[in-house]
Structure 1
């Protein structure tokens, strides 16, 4: 698991912008907004020039409050996500094949405005869901990512044979990411972003042959865990 800072650095340009955004949202939608939080580099205390401001707004009802947005403000990219508190609670208790990339937001969001302690409650709900999840549940999700990684890897091999290098590189990037998600799910490790995922799992520099061997090893691991990656037509519907 990845730790966060005790305090957000509000002296940085990103910290000051997050504060301004929170203040504006509170003033414009006081009856609609329940909580405002920040995650990503600001929550970890390692933001720098080029970092984004990742803001989550929890509302009482769908369609209320500010609209979700992704755009630059004063040269800083702002990723503004808006959802209801109830919908967010549902999501934090849902495990998906992208869990290694989603969990960081559930666990590390820091409140800018949260009088009811919703972000802490959602974090605890997510951790509780992880505690009750059975190993086979994570293995099944990992198998989904393995299938995506294997398909992308096969396409990359075929494209390389036809000297379509650019397209092959795109497929390899997709294959590396999903192979990293397999590792994250099987080890219950979450990552801060896709780049962090491929770097920490050691697949960032894997070429076609190396990645093929990694996928073969993952397939063996999944089979040993009761989730073989290949099977009969009957297996598809069980």
Structure 2
């Protein structure tokens, strides 16, 4: 994470303006404001967006979550209460490889009570206490989604609906990447980073089928088989 925001850049200066606008309009409701993603990592480029998060004291206060362009720059504004944000940081979910970076790398633009530090510490505590079986359980969830999307893509190809098959293959690759991330406790910056770093970005149907079979064997070896009896459904 960066030590200081570059306010001379287009995205850095816009982030400050957005923070000031939020604080000016909701001065009593906002607990913290931060920026995530490439701006927080310090490797943003001209095509990068601004990933802002606003933390409020109470639900349904402050700005509404939104996505739009501001002065030509894509902006994503997330809004969450302090309690909810800490709760999310303490929970392991199937989306962990895509959300962990936000918990661990947020540059505070306004944070008088060190809320973002608390969120980071809450997530680090979760990671230190989570058992391997908890990660494989979430991995199995993503495997089911990847396998289902892959099967539908195969069927659509047989029906010559290649456009829809391509969409489902993209979905299958993402979930296969999340399986790999959960098994290895690796988190990613975004979906594109996930499929690239796990080597599934260019996998065709046969290659992805082989990857899914390997992942199924790995999950079985780790005590989370992808197939089972009805009684095992709730384990």
TM-score in terms of structure 1 length: 0.97
CA contact (8 A) 2:145 2:172 kept: yes
- 1:85-96 equivalent positions in 2, closer than 5 A: 85-96=82-93
CA distance in 2, matches of 1:142, 1:179: 9
> Which residue matches 2:95?
98
- 1:171-182 equivalent positions in 2, closer than 5 A: 171-182=168-179
**Superposition RMSD on alpha carbons, in Å?**
0.8
CA distance in 2, matches of 1:10, 1:146: 42
CA distance in 1, matches of 2:4, 2:169: 39
Residue 63 (structure 1) shift: 1.2
> 1:95-130 deviations in whole A, cap 9, x for unaligned?
110110011111101100001110011001001011
Query: How many corresponding residue pairs?
Result: 235
Residue 12 (structure 1) shift: 1.1
CA distance in 2, matches of 1:197, 1:236: 28
**1:207 corresponds to which of 195, 204, 208:** 204
What secondary structure does 1:70 align onto?
Answer: strand
Residue 236 (structure 1) shift: 1.2
> 1:106-160 deviations in whole A, cap 9, x for unaligned?
1101100001110011001001011100100000000000000001111111111
> Which residue matches 1:8?
5
- 1:87-166 equivalent positions in 2, closer than 5 A: 87-166=84-163
Q: Which runs of 5+ in 1 are unaligned?
A: none
> Which residue matches 2:31?
34
CA contact (8 A) 2:2 2:107 kept: no
What secondary structure does 1:42 align onto?
Answer: helix
What secondary structure does 2:227 align onto?
Answer: coil
**1:79 corresponds to which of 56, 76, 80:** 76
CA distance in 1, matches of 2:191, 2:97: 9
Q: Which runs of 5+ in 2 are unaligned?
A: none
What secondary structure does 2:5 align onto?
Answer: coil
> Which residue matches 2:66?
69
